[in-house]
Structure 1
Amino acid sequence: MQTPVHLVIGAGPGLGAGIARRFAREGYFAVLTTRHQEQADDLAAQLTAGGCAAAGFAIDLLDAADVARAVTAVGERYGRIDVLHFNPSAWREKDPLQLTAAELLEDVMLGVGALLPAVQAARPFQRAGSRVLVTGSAAADKPWHRAASLGVQKAAVRNLVTSLDATLAPEGIRAVAVQINGLLAAQGPFSPPPIAEAMWRAVTRPDESWTPHVSYDG
């Protein structure tokens, strides 16, 4: 396949789909993954109806083997993964006195741990110039105590991106976490279109000015 592939891990109808549309404007083929195949197909159909080339795949982010399976299936079908976009996070409204250790570990698996098998499975289908893009959040620095696991996820995934970037850089592959310092909204500076533009700018920077973290402040 000559068309570059943008794989979204943990896509949704808002930000995930919006970022996929932005990349599609640059000629990327969008692959959208969700928990259920029907949901993924619906998202892909919405993009296709808007003139984007897209496909959907099911993925279970709480199962490392299934994450590897799904990413490998995408790579084998299209022959390449140019941008691996890791977008999920687990929302659980529990403070530290309510949150159990098992719940915290489950949320961290979805919002952080699943990135490892995704990148490992994508690596054979990447080449110099490929990118790993992660959706970050201000919760990494300013967690809300009533949803304690979210801040842990976002701080941890940002840290992991630093290690991923250092590991992949010698192969010409770079990783970046774009930290969104505001609440997502349907309109305005924290709506999908301007955030998607910031994501696009983050992955198209030259290596000479690369950093593994970018802040989006609206």
Structure 2
Amino acid sequence: MPTIAIIGAGPGLGAASARRFGREGFSVALVSRGARGPDALRGELAREGIEARGYTADVRDTASLERALDAAAAELGTVEVLQYSPVPSREFLRPVLETSPADLAAATAFSVLGPAAAVHRVLPGMRELGRGTVLLVNGASAAAPNGNVAGTSVAFAGESAYGAMLHEALAPEGVHVGQLIVPGAIGGGDPLFEPDALAGRLWGIHTRPGGFRVTVGG
């Protein structure tokens, strides 16, 4: 049974992805800062016949993230799909003139060092399988800087560059790296941005790999 590791496994998109990939035969590693949310979701998924386990990690603590992914691979099997979609902290969403160097450092740890640590942990297993998918989920500021959310604009740009380079480097090995840009509020009422719809887009990126970036509504 293939395994998907969802980093940022909350009640919205993380839960929807867990259900979508779980229905397709994946076991699910739910990675989150707090144990309570993944534990509750794991129970819901179990009642739906989906195997899932919860793991606690802070994406700004790369050691904890690495331990969580190692445990997931040991307990559920090689991670074949990695979804990196934690919700940015409010400190990353300040106007540029109110954003400090410390804010930028934290945002970079969250959106660049975090995914880099996760990818490096799961990539050897994907390479051994000869297949795999890395799914990066970002807001609109990853594609167009927005001075009202300076931290994410800077850090998402770095994440985008890193992902695009990985996409090019890993495609010959059968490992696809794709980015989903969500230019709106998830679950805000627009059907395109509902969690189930976005999980479907992520499933499509995994099953029909193409270019690096896919924009919802674009």
Structure 2: tracts of 5 or more residues without a match = none
1:86 aligns with 2:100: no
Instruction: Name the counterpart of 2:103.
Output: 103
- Residues in 2 aligned to 1:15 and 1:204: alpha-carbon distance in whole angstroms: 18
- Residues in 1 aligned to 2:203 and 2:27: alpha-carbon distance in whole angstroms: 15
- Deviation of the 1:189 alpha carbon: 1.8
Instruction: Name the counterpart of 1:158.
Output: 160
Instruction: Name the counterpart of 1:195.
Output: 198
1:78-132 Cα offsets, whole Å, 9 max, x none, are 2311101111242324212211101111122112210111111112322222111
Q: 3-state DSSP class of the match of 2:73?
A: helix
Matched to 1:205, the amino acid is R
- Deviation of the 1:39 alpha carbon: 2.7
Instruction: Assess, with a 3 A threshold, how the Cα gap between structure 1 residues 198 and 166 changes in structure 2: closer, same or farther.
Output: same
- Residues in 2 aligned to 1:123 and 1:64: alpha-carbon distance in whole angstroms: 15
Structure 1: tracts of 5 or more residues without a match = none
Q: Is the 8 A contact 1:79 1:125 kept in 2?
A: no
Q: Is the 8 A contact 2:111 2:155 kept in 1?
A: yes
Q: 3-state DSSP class of the match of 1:183?
A: coil
- Residues in 2 aligned to 1:137 and 1:7: alpha-carbon distance in whole angstroms: 20
> What is the number of residues matched between the two proteins?
213
- Deviation of the 1:158 alpha carbon: 1.5
1:205 aligns with 2:208: yes
- The partner residue of 2:30 within 28, 32, 48 is 32
Mapping 1:2-41, distance limit 5 Å: 3-41=1-39
Query: TM-score w.r.t. structure 2 length?
Result: 0.90
Q: Is the 8 A contact 2:11 2:37 kept in 1?
A: no
- Residues in 2 aligned to 1:181 and 1:171: alpha-carbon distance in whole angstroms: 31
Q: 3-state DSSP class of the match of 2:11?
A: coil
- Residues in 2 aligned to 1:29 and 1:186: alpha-carbon distance in whole angstroms: 29
- The partner residue of 1:184 within 186, 200, 205 is 186
Q: Is the 8 A contact 2:111 2:159 kept in 1?
A: yes
Q: Is the 8 A contact 1:186 1:192 kept in 2?
A: no
- Residues in 2 aligned to 1:217 and 1:154: alpha-carbon distance in whole angstroms: 19
Matched to 2:205, the amino acid is A
Matched to 2:6, the amino acid is V
Instruction: Assess, with a 3 A threshold, how the Cα gap between structure 1 residues 166 and 142 changes in structure 2: closer, same or farther.
Output: closer
- Deviation of the 1:5 alpha carbon: 0.5
1:169-213 Cα offsets, whole Å, 9 max, x none, are 23211111111132212542211111111111111115xxx2111
- Deviation of the 1:41 alpha carbon: 1.4
- Deviation of the 1:50 alpha carbon: 3.4
Matched to 1:201, the amino acid is G
Matched to 1:43, the amino acid is L
Q: 3-state DSSP class of the match of 2:178?
A: strand
- Residues in 2 aligned to 1:110 and 1:22: alpha-carbon distance in whole angstroms: 26
Q: Is the 8 A contact 2:179 2:214 kept in 1?
A: yes
- Deviation of the 1:168 alpha carbon: 2.0
Q: CA RMSD in A?
A: 1.8
Q: 3-state DSSP class of the match of 1:146?
A: coil
Q: 3-state DSSP class of the match of 1:114?
A: helix
- Deviation of the 1:143 alpha carbon: 4.1
- Residues in 2 aligned to 1:159 and 1:146: alpha-carbon distance in whole angstroms: 21
- Deviation of the 1:17 alpha carbon: 0.9
* Matched-pair identity in %: 31
